[in-house]
């Protein structure tokens, strides 16, 4: 039988992934026209503010990372160390790290163990175990140096290298979900990976709404109400997803919110899936990992929280690294039954292993150059410049939104996104309905057509009824594109008021 859209897997057909949806497709069509010399469009470039893809928007790779990778990809270069050092400005620690990784990983073109290269698991564990003193924490915020994370033991055997965090999410949800009766608590607004994956698995998303009036905080009462409603309808709620810092909201959770979620998970025996891929993108306050808070709660209340199951995810795609295309990440399992973990291992094994060059980049991310090492000065300068650039652009975009009619947007706290509310005139809603579009989709489409700036309608992430939002990254360099949004918005409001 010939395949048609009517006879393919209905779960695939039902899945939605707005960040690469219709607007993104149209923006790429415009990009192709511009590349062919088309001058009929009212803009000269496409700004892909729809997706957190830093290096597409001119974030420069970290020199130490790329130099090490070049030697991993072409080990013959190591036969000319004098040329590398004297002619190409490679530092001795670059060469040493490449040799170390090659000694443990072998060829990056070969499979690794299913969980990943054991030495890289060890490096991740060491990073998770290390602890930043008060002085180090101050240095981190002033100098943007990431020195360590939790201060509690990490078992390398519980760490799995993955093809980005998305692969880890897919693994865990495949093991957890058994069909429509399985429910997973999802924050709304959410990164649509979660609802799309649940659609593919024919499982049930259980939405809980974040509190926009409190900086998109996680309200445990909203979580509890969503859980009770779902279980009353016969849904077996097995997991709660928390994205911290938030995507698309940018919210950075205080420790008390994390404690409340962990307490809820302990009461209801649900797995906590902590999506922490933006943990270095924090502009306000401090990042608190779920594992560090869980371990503190276990110390404070012996026995009470020992049964909590936690999976924490991290990635090289975000933060200051931005190596999306290399597909590297990891997840750590805490508190899982050994037989369950054996089946997680089996699922991972079916996929063979994560890309080995991506695994090596994970090692570089968690174990960057240290003070006193030859590459440290440049690494710190690059790291600092990227962080400060993101913070400055976030501030500029937030300032622009605060001055736009009918737009409300909370202070940028972290991640790479802003998720403003837009209050559109009634005539705009009528024009949207005439095109079969929602008001937010209509607004975003007009913005793309007028300026070449691609953002994502709030409906793609979920939003409270009778509200309108859009998500934009603040990765694009410069501020001219921000001015384009301001100008478009004023003209749009004038046209439809």
Q: Which of 181-190, 212-221, 239-248, 307-316 has the lowest mean pLDDT?
A: 212-221
**Is residue 454 helix, strand or coil?**
strand
The CATH class given to the 156-366 domain equals alpha beta
Q: Is 470 helix (H, G, I), strand (E, B) or coil?
A: strand
Tokens 């501020």 sit at which residue? 479
Say how many residues make up the chain: 497
Map 347-381 to HEC letters.
Answer: HHHHCCCCCHHHHHHHHHHHCCCCCCCCCHHHHHH
Asked whether the predicted pLDDT for residue 465 surpasses 90, the reply is no
**pTM for this one?**
0.86
**315 contacts 328 by C-beta, under 8 angstroms:** yes
Tell me the per-residue pLDDT of 246-293, one tens digit each, with 9 for 90 and over: 888 888 888 999 999 999 999 999 999 999 998 888 887 788 999 999
CB atoms within 10 A of CB 251: 28
Per-residue pLDDT band for 19 (boundaries 50, 70, 90) equals low
Q: In angstroms, rounded to a whole number, what is the distance separating the alpha carbons of residues 296 and 290?
A: 10
Residues 316-342, buried b or exposed e (16+ Cβ, 10 A)? bbbbbbbbbebbbbbbbbbbbeeeebe
Candidates 3.20.20.70, 3.90.1150.10, 3.30.70.370, 3.40.50.300; CATH matching 10-57+383-496: 3.90.1150.10
244: nearest Cα among 284, 289, 214, 207: 289
Instruction: Identify the residue with better confidence: 213 or 37.
Output: 37
- What are the DSSP E strand ranges found in 189-270? 204-209, 236-243
pLDDT at 271: 96
- pLDDT surpasses 60 at 100: yes
Note the pLDDT of residue 143.
Answer: 40
Q: Is the N-terminal amide bond of 189 cis, ω within 30° of 0?
A: yes
Residue 94 pLDDT greater than 80, yes or no: yes
133-190 tens-digit pLDDT: 333 444 444 443 444 577 888 899 999 999 988 899 999 999 999 999 999 999 998 8
pLDDT value at position 124?
93
Q: What is the pLDDT of residue 273?
A: 96
Q: For the chain, what percent of residues have pLDDT higher than 70?
A: 95
Distances (CA, A) of 370 to 137, 247, 281, 373, 376: 15, 30, 20, 6, 6
Which pairs from 211-215 meet CB under 8 Å and 24+ separation?
A: 212/410, 212/421, 212/464, 215/251, 215/410, 215/411, 215/413
**Amino acid 133: pLDDT:** 39
Reply yes or no on whether the pLDDT at 10 is more than 70: yes
Which residues, in sequence order, are CB contacts of 114 under 8 Å at separation 6+?
A: 345, 348, 349, 351, 352, 353
pLDDT classification of 93: cutoffs 50, 70, 90: very high
Residues 6+ apart with CB under 8 A from 93: 64, 369, 373, 374, 375
pLDDT in tens, 366-375: 999 999 999 9
What's the rounded mean pLDDT across residues 207-222?
87
Measuring CA to CA, which residue among 296, 375, 382, 292 is closest to residue 84? Answer: 375
Domain with CATH 3.90.1150.10 in the chain: 10-57+383-496
Helices (H), 50-106: 63-73, 81-86, 92-105
Buried b / exposed e along 362-393 (16+ C-beta atoms within 10 A): bbbbbbbbeeebbbbeebbebbeebbebbbeb
- Residue 374, both tokens: 């030859």
Instruction: Tell me, rounded to whole angstroms, the distance of Cα 74 from its chain centroid.
Output: 30
> Which residues of the chain form CATH 3.40.640.10?
156-366
Tell me what pLDDT residue 20 has.
66
Q: Does residue 331 sit in helix, strand or coil?
A: strand
Whether 205 has a pLDDT exceeding 90, the answer reads yes
């Amino acid at each position: 039988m010939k395949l048609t859209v009517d006879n393919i897997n209905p779960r695939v057909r039902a899945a939605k992934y707005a960040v690469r949806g219709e607007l993104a497709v149209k923006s790429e069509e415009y990009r192709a026209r511009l590349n062919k010399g088309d001058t009929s469009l009212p803009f000269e470039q496409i700004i892909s503010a729809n997706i957190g893809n830093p290096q597409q928007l001119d974030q420069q790779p970290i020199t130490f990372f790329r130099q090490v990778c070049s030697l991993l990809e072409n080990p013959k270069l190591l036969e000319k160390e004098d040329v590398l050092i004297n002619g190409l400005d490679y530092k001795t620690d670059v060469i040493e790290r490449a040799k170390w990784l090659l000694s443990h990983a072998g060829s990056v073109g070969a499979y690794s163990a299913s969980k990943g290269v054991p030495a890289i698991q060890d490096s991740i564990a060491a990073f998770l175990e290390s602890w930043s003193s008060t002085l180090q924490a101050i240095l981190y915020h002033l100098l943007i140096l990431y020195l360590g994370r939790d201060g509690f033991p990490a078992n390398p055997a519980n760490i799995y290298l993955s093809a980005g965090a998305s692969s880890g999410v897919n693994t865990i949800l495949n093991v957890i979900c058994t069909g429509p009766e399985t429910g997973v608590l999802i924050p709304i607004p959410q990164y649509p990976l979660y609802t799309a994956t649940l659609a593919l698995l024919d499982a049930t998303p259980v939405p809980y709404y974040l509190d926009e009036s409190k900086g998109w905080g996680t309200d445990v009462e909203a979580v509890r109400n969503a859980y009770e409603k779902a279980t009353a309808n016969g849904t077996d709620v097995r997991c709660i997803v928390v994205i911290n810092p938030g995507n698309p909201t940018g919210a950075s959770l205080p420790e008390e919110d994390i404690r409340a979620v962990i307490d809820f998970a302990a009461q209801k025996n649900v797995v906590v899936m902590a999506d922490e891929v933006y943990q270095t993108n924090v502009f306000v306050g401090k990042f608190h990992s779920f594992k560090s808070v869980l371990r503190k709660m276990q110390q404070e209340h012996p026995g009470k929280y020992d049964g909590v199951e936690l999976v924490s995810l991290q990635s090289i795609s975000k933060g200051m690294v931005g190596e999306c295309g290399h597909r590297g990440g990891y997840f750590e399992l805490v508190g899982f039954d050994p037989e369950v973990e054996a089946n997680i291992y089996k699922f991972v094994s079916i996929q063979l292993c994560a890309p080995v060059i991506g695994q090596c980049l994970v090692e570089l991310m968690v174990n960057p150059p240290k003070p006193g090492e030859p590459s440290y000065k440049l690494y710190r300068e690059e790291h600092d410049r990227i962080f400060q650039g993101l913070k400055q652009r976030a501030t500029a975009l937030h300032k622009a939104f605060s001055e736009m009619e009918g737009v409300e947007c909370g202070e940028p706290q972290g991640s790479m996104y802003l998720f403003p509310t837009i209050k559109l005139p009634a005539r705009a809603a009528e024009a949207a309905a005439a095109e079969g579009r929602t008001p937010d989709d209509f607004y975003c489409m007009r913005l793309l057509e007028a300026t070449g700036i691609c953002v994502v309608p709030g409906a793609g992430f979920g939003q409270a009824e009778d509200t309108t939002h859009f998500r934009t990254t603040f990765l694009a360099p410069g501020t001219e594109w921000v001015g384009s949004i301001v100008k478009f918005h004023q003209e749009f409001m004038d046209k439809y008021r």
